[in-house]
Amino acid sequence: MDSIVVRGNGPLNGQIPIAGAKNACLTLMPATLLSDEPLTLTNAPRLSDIKTMTELLGSLGAEVTSLQDGKVLAMSSHGLNNDTAHYDIVRKMRASILVLGPMLARQGHAIVSLPGGCAIGARPVDLHLKAFEAMGAELELKDGYVHAKAPAGGLRGGTVDFDFASVGATENAVMAATLAKGTTVLNNAAREPEIVDLVECLRAMGAQIEGEGSPTITIQGVDRLGGATHRVVTDRIELGTYMLAPAICGGEVELLGGRINLLATFCEKLAAAGISVEETKDGLKVSRKNGSIHAVDVTTEPFPGFPTDLQAQMMALLCTAEGTSVLEEKIFENRFMHAPELMRMGASIDVQGGTATVTGVKKLKGAPVMATDLRASVSLILAGLAAEGETRVGRVYHLDRGYEQVVRKLSGVGAHIERVSGE
Ligand code: UD1
């Protein structure tokens, strides 16, 4: 099993290109199931989660061809021949549930394994199922699988009031509603940029949708969808992660493809911590020339609030801030698993339920640590850049799910980082 070895670093300088968004791509790929014409995605990230979705779509009879070294995905679902998404693949990745809406809408039936628990919390799919029921689907849970059936004549429009603005449930419901008979209204819908990106792609395929990016999305069902070519939106989480590298080490780094509107709340918190963020022609320039990092309080919230997917990385920054910061995790109940690992590096963190209190220390110390999930793994790399000595991050397969070429991107701006195989 590979590890990543990081050595404490001086200032970072240069440019880092930001890839297309993993979370957008994982919902755009299942959109191919809605049409028998080709859907092509450009600016796709090269990640193991994308390979898992490719495998899942392939198991349903869709074709996914990876072109230009994985940056272009050419997909076609004209030959769908299976209605079952099996546990063997679904268990690897929760986003697999996103095939349920499109399959149900296009074929009228689907059987999808429940994704099951996950290290960062219980993460049920009840909101997804509630939306399909509102469109007339009959659902049965049997042997760990959801068996879903549309009424005779197909799904019909309905009104869905989400109890929580779930990203995945909104995506699944939007996709299903594109082919339903009549109008579907989604209230308290998620507003994330990945939802807006999905709607833009569906619209290019011929869907009639209004209100994306607001809490109410209205979908007028159409008889069929056609093909399209769509560019995947910038990965705002990869962007925020690499913005933290110069914030932690000092220096000045330009993140190519970054925009403030993808991460406005996060940028405000960086400014409060004493980090300069500036929009440029090609992206965002982040610098910390001198001076200390100030403590800031952070609460994770649905978009446009502070993203839960940047909480672990922000904690790495605040470990060496002057003063005490309070981080509140409001999206997932068990998302502080990186805290004990950071404490092995000398951080001072007190976790009580969904609240972590971080008291800044002068310097972190390198240590062997374990990645526990995707975002936790990269927070340990960032902390390693701020530490004295060597940090060895184990279980980096988590990292491969969501960050392409992390060693190349960080060493390109002067970080001391390498991947060591087989240990
Ligand atoms: C997506 C992202 C994930 C990110 C999260 C929140 C993908 C592939 N993943 O996950 O990286 O951390 O948004 O921004 O895009 N919930 C329910 N019932 C449901 C669905 C969700 O109770 O049916 C709860 C969850 O347990 C959680 C909260 O709602 O507490 C948010 O989950 P949701 O927004 O659905 O996240 P995901 O779509 O799973």
Decide: 121 and 332 in contact? Cβ < 8 Å: yes
- For ligand 1, atom 2: residue with the closest CA: 23
Query: Listing from the earlier edge strand, what are the strands of the sheet with 368-370?
Result: 368-370, 390-394, 3-7, 416-420
Q: What is the pLDDT of residue 291?
A: 81
Q: What is the pLDDT of residues 53-81, one digit of tens each?
A: 999 999 999 999 999 999 999 999 999 99
Prediction pTM value: 0.96
Instruction: Calculate ∠ Cα 252-257-263, nearest 5°.
Output: 80
- What is the whole-number distance in angstroms between the Cα of residue 126 and the centre of ligand 1? 11
Q: Which helix (DSSP H) or strand (DSSP E) does residue 384 occupy?
A: helix 374-385
Q: pLDDT band at 414, cuts 50/70/90?
A: very high
Closest C-alpha among 387, 312, 292 to residue 345: 387
Q: What mean pLDDT value characterizes the chain?
A: 95
Q: Which helix (DSSP H) or strand (DSSP E) does residue 126 occupy?
A: helix 126-134
Q: Where are the alpha helices (DSSP H) in 178-280?
A: 193-204, 236-249, 264-272
Encoded tokens for 308: 């839960």
- For ligand 1, atom 26: residue with the closest CA: 123
Q: What is the pLDDT of residue 1?
A: 82
User: Could you tell me how many helices (H) and strands (E) the chain has, helices first?
Assistant: 14, 26
Nearest-angstrom CA–CA distance, 292 and 143: 55
Range of lowest pLDDT (13-22, 108-117, 125-134): 108-117
Ramachandran area for residue 172 (φ above 0: left; ψ -120 to 50: alpha; else beta) = alpha
Beta bridge partners of 349: 358
Decide: 112 and 90 in contact? Cβ < 8 Å: yes
Q: What is the pLDDT of residue 320?
A: 96
Q: Does residue 122 register a pLDDT over 70?
A: no
Q: Please report, for residues 89, 348, 369, 386, 396, the alpha-carbon distance to residue 345 in angstroms, rounded to integers and kept in the order given.
A: 35, 9, 8, 10, 18
Q: pLDDT band at 121, cuts 50/70/90?
A: low
Report the percentage of the chain scoring pLDDT > 90: 92
Nearest-angstrom CA–CA distance, 380 and 383: 5
- What is the whole-number distance in angstroms between the Cα of residue 123 and the centre of ligand 1? 7
Q: Does residue 117 register a pLDDT over 80?
A: no
Q: pLDDT band at 423, cuts 50/70/90?
A: low
Q: pLDDT band at 46, cuts 50/70/90?
A: very high
Query: What SS3 state is found at 142?
Result: strand
CA torsion sign, 294 to 416 to 398 to 213?
positive
Nearest-angstrom CA–CA distance, 54 and 29: 8
- What is the whole-number distance in angstroms between the Cα of residue 168 and the centre of ligand 1? 6
Q: What is the mean pLDDT of residues 11-22?
A: 97
Q: Which helix (DSSP H) or strand (DSSP E) does residue 338 occupy?
A: helix 338-344
Q: Which residues have CB under 6 Å of ligand 1?
A: 23, 26, 94-95, 121-128, 164, 166-169, 308-309, 331-332
Instruction: Write down the catalytic residue from 118, 201, 249, 319.
Output: 118
Cis peptide before 304 (omega within 30 of 0): yes
Q: Does residue 286 register a pLDDT over 80?
A: yes
Q: Which atom of ligand 1 lies at the shortest distance from residue 374's CA? A: 11
Q: What is the pLDDT of residue 116?
A: 64
Nearest-angstrom CA–CA distance, 145 and 226: 30
Decide: 355 and 336 in contact? Cβ < 8 Å: no
Rg (CA), the chain: 22
Q: What is the mean pLDDT of residues 207-233?
A: 98
Q: What is the mean pLDDT of residues 167-189?
A: 98
Nearest-angstrom CA–CA distance, 183 and 58: 31
Q: Determine whether 267 is an active site residue.
A: no
Decide: 375 and 339 in contact? Cβ < 8 Å: no
Q: Does residue 190 register a pLDDT over 90?
A: yes
DSSP result, 19-60: -B-HHHHHHHTGGGGG-SS-EEEES----HHHHHHHHHHHHT
Range of lowest pLDDT (2-6, 53-57, 120-124, 406-410): 120-124
Q: Does residue 130 register a pLDDT over 70?
A: yes
Q: How many CA atoms lie within 13 A of 330 on its CB side?
A: 14
- What is the whole-number distance in angstroms between the Cα of residue 94 and the centre of ligand 1? 9
Q: pLDDT band at 270, cuts 50/70/90?
A: very high
Q: What is the mean pLDDT of residues 145-161?
A: 97
